[in-house]
Every structure is written in C-alpha cells, then in structure tokens.
C-alpha cells in the first residue's frame, strides 16, 4: 500500500521565538509552550523583575530562554533593539492592555494609551520582525494575540474592540503581502481568560454572569487554553494557515 501520511511536527527545535507581554498571563503561557516545544524563547516585557522570575522558572525546567526589556509602545526604541537581535522565526505579540468605559466617556488620553500598545505597538513590532526575516531569506510564523472582541462588540469596550478589530485587519493585509516569502501571519482570539489584566472584570458579578451566558461551553478560560493554539500556529502543523483568526472563545462568536 502507499505510504501513510504523517502528522507534521509540532517541535520547534532550532527556532527563535520572541514573546511580548511575557511576564504574566497569556504571554507567559505562550512562552512556556514554545520553550517546551524546543524553541529558544526571548521573553519581552517592560518590567524586568517579574520577567526575570519567569525566565528563571522556565530555565529550571530545562528549557532555553532569556529576558529582554521592551516597551512596544516605544516604537523607535523597539525597532532599534530588534536591529541588534538575530531574526526571530516566531513572534507572539501578547503585549496589550484595556481601559474600559462607556464610549461617550472615553478620554482621549485613554484612547491613545490603548491604541499605542494594542495597535501601533503591535503593528510596528510585527513589521520589524518580518523585515529581519525577509532580509535573511527565512520563513516564519507571526502571531498576534487578538480577542473575541475583535469580532463582536461588548459593553464599555468600544476602544478595546476598535484596537483589536484593527489588529485583525493588518494581520490579513500582512499575510497577503508576505505569503510569497513564506511568512505566515495569524491571530489568536481568546474569550475572557483569567489573568491579571482581566481581574477587574472578574471582580464584577454581573459581568461574570454575562460572560458565562455568552460562552457556550459554560466556563471562562485559563491560560492553558491558549498554549496549544500558539504551539499549533508556531509549528509546521499549521504550515498552510495564514491570514486567519483562531477562535478560542468557547463558542461565544458562534451565534
């Protein structure tokens, strides 16, 4: 009989990965997943204290990683830092923040703060990593941590939704532009995941009730729910996947 097909490898040995927002929450989980799969992971965040603690914990497990102080909102400084780095085969852009309020009460400073990280920072970090890949002739997988709120609306979340809808847009455009170079660009769109970023929401019983009503699987998410998704998109298992959004939302957007 003909030889049976074999599943593509999920291993990332020999790959270099950059994960932003890596000191806690989803970014931290993604860094652990990629390191466990064999990648050398550069963990980036603004504060080095928590970041170094995460790096030490990952190294204690026997995996390869290092810390990098980086504020993606400082675009020019970020670009300068990356110019002194070897190309990254994998990017997980997990730095993000949210400032929630009714749309009519949105403060201009709050709007700019969110957009500078979630959109402007993400955009230029993605292009910086892609530029280095293209110059080196290497392929890669660039992953933006988006949100289910990039596909639906939410109470008091107009600014956050706007930032994440925009991430989906540039992800598709970049996927088209860089496909011929073997550079894939995708998003992961989580539902509400318990992290330090979302504790403010989880402290509001009425919001928790609204969330659980929307999630068809009947539970909110944990960081571990994202780890398999990022490994899939980073690895050869997703080699024909680009320009798309991987929903990890418990069925929220199935309506």
Which tens digits make up the pLDDT trace of 104-145? 999 999 999 999 999 999 999 999 999 999 999 999 999 999
- What is the domain range of residue 102? 16-248
Check residue 17 and give its pLDDT: 98
In a domain, 90, yes or no: yes
In a domain, 160, yes or no: yes
- Cα-based angle 246, 251, 255 (whole degrees, multiple of 5): 110
Owner of token pair 């997980």 = 92
* CB-CB contact of 15 with 40 (8 Å): yes
* CB-CB contact of 184 with 238 (8 Å): yes
Q: Write down the mean pLDDT value for the chain.
A: 95
- Tens of pLDDT along 1-19? 679 999 999 999 999 999 9
Check residue 174 and give its pLDDT: 98
In a domain, 255, yes or no: no
Mean pLDDT in residue range 43-48: 94
Check residue 204 and give its pLDDT: 83
- Helix (DSSP H) and strand (DSSP E) numbers for the chain: 9, 7
Q: Give the integer Cα–Cα distance in Å for 223 and 133.
A: 29
Residue 123: active-site member: no
Q: Comparing 82-86, 123-127, 155-159, 207-211, which segment has the lowest mean pLDDT?
A: 207-211
**247 HSE (CA, 13 A, CB side):** 12
* CB-CB contact of 129 with 88 (8 Å): yes
CATH number at residue 98: 3.40.50.720
| Per annotation, catalytic residue among 63, 123, 160, 232 | 160
* CB-CB contact of 171 with 144 (8 Å): yes
Structure-block tokens of residue 233: 């998109």
Asked whether the predicted pLDDT for residue 60 surpasses 90, the reply is: yes
Q: Give the integer Cα–Cα distance in Å for 156 and 106.
A: 9
User: How many domains, the chain?
Assistant: 1
Per the document, the length of the chain is 255
Check residue 1 and give its pLDDT: 61
Check residue 202 and give its pLDDT: 81
| pLDDT band at 178; cut points 50, 70, 90 | very high
Structure-block tokens of residue 117: 């990280």
Q: What is the pTM of this model?
A: 0.95
In a domain, 45, yes or no: yes
Structure-block tokens of residue 45: 């965040």
| pLDDT band at 212; cut points 50, 70, 90 | confident
In a domain, 168, yes or no: yes
* Residue 41, CA distances (Å) to 19, 71, 124, 151, 213 in order: 7, 17, 20, 30, 37
Residue 48's φ and ψ, nearest 5 degrees, are -85, -20
């Amino acid at each position: 009989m003909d030889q049976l097909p074999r599943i593509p490898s999920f291993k990332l040995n020999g790959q270099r990965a950059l994960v932003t927002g890596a000191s806690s929450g989803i970014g931290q989980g993604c860094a652990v997943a990629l390191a466990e799969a064999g990648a050398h992971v550069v963990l980036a965040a603004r504060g080095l204290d928590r970041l170094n603690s995460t790096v030490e914990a990952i190294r204690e497990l026997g995996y390869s990683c290092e810390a990098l102080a980086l504020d993606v909102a400082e675009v020019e400084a970020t670009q300068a830092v990356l110019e002194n780095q070897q190309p990254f085969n994998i990017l997980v852009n997990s730095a993000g923040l949210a400032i929630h309020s009714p749309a009519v009460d949105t403060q201009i400073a709050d709007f700019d703060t969110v957009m500078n990280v979630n959109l402007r920072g993400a955009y230029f970090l993605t292009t910086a990593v892609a530029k280095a890949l293209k110059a080196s002739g290497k392929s890669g997988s660039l992953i933006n941590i988006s949100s289910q709120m990039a596909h639906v609306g939410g109470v008091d979340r107009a600014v956050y939704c706007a930032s994440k809808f925009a991430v989906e847009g540039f992800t598709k455009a970049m996927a088209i532009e860089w496909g011929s170079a073997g550079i894939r660009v995708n998003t992961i769109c989580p539902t509400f995941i318990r992290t330090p970023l979302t504790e403010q929401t989880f402290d509001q019983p009425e919001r928790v009730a609204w969330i659980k009503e929307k999630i068809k699987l009947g539970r909110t998410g944990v960081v571990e729910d994202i780890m398999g998704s990022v490994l899939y998109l980073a690895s050869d298992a997703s080699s024909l996947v680009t320009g798309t959004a991987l929903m990890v939302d418990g069925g929220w957007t199935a309506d």
